[in-house]
Chains A and B, each alone.
Chain A
């Protein structure tokens, strides 16, 4: 199946000479949730702004649903709903009026039933006649999502949708995003919260200093880069490790109170069984043991640091 968004050799240099994007290539699959991770100033918002028509590219081309965003901008843009990072809302319009305005702006005929559904899905129905200025920050964020969904887009961009949003509301938004995906909408979200990408995304892209440094299925990324660590809490302290355990590259921590062993989950042999056997032979006993898996956050920090 052809990608719903295809970004090819995209570069963006601002007037100041700052290169925000450097030769970015990216395909978004139809119906997936794609999380774009990156530190502040990495180029996430610039990339979204170009795809949505808010900024002009310096070089390269973007196709949305097979349509060029510059030469066939009407068709391309009508497929996209955008929820920007900042809370940009009108102040004095009612929720109903502002969401209906967005639908009109995208050239769609009036459809009160659809607007009603969107507002109900986002728990905004009882606020439909309220002025936006009277709403809380979390509600304004949902109004922006409602505006983006008002014209029934096939693609939804969520630029840091849960920044500054409390935990409960964040989980609520994740639910909304999942429901949207089930209805066939492709979702691209940028986030600072690694936990969010880990929870939501099918694929993850990492952008740093204007370059895509990694694009990978979330599961295989975790599999590929995920390491596990076995920590043994010893009964007695050890000053040095016996020669027989040298091959395991163990590490003595906490002044010899714990023994740490890193192993790769993708390998068929993790070496744990033989390690435990060799420890027993060497007369090293332990009270407890635990294993931990490196999170996406560790992977992210590693990649950003080395790129």
Chain B
């Protein structure tokens, strides 16, 4: 009984099969040997980190405006209304002698956020953007109730720490 059912060697005969097999084995060895001397592609995560693309969608973050030294938020509340998960709370008050309301609270409950981006799209002033922070882990739920004003301040007091991805 001929047990060989391989279509690649069918009709090749005894020596033809041997020749074909030996050749393909050597090709296989060549493939792995060249791979052996190619550079490593794995990223050793805690010690080195990947480049984050600008398209990365983290949680939302207030955009820093270097002219005013704060953010552009006008407390219109459109982001809070656009949010399908109801995780944004925006509060502001009109201070003495100012024309516009100024932001006093921008809280994001990241445990409920589905990263849809509706808030960023609806913002009329472009004051919201996606964060590049992906090293997000915590021990309690409350760690993910972000105060974005606080985060904005911290980011621009310690620019180095923010670049490293710390909050």
> Do A and B bind?
no
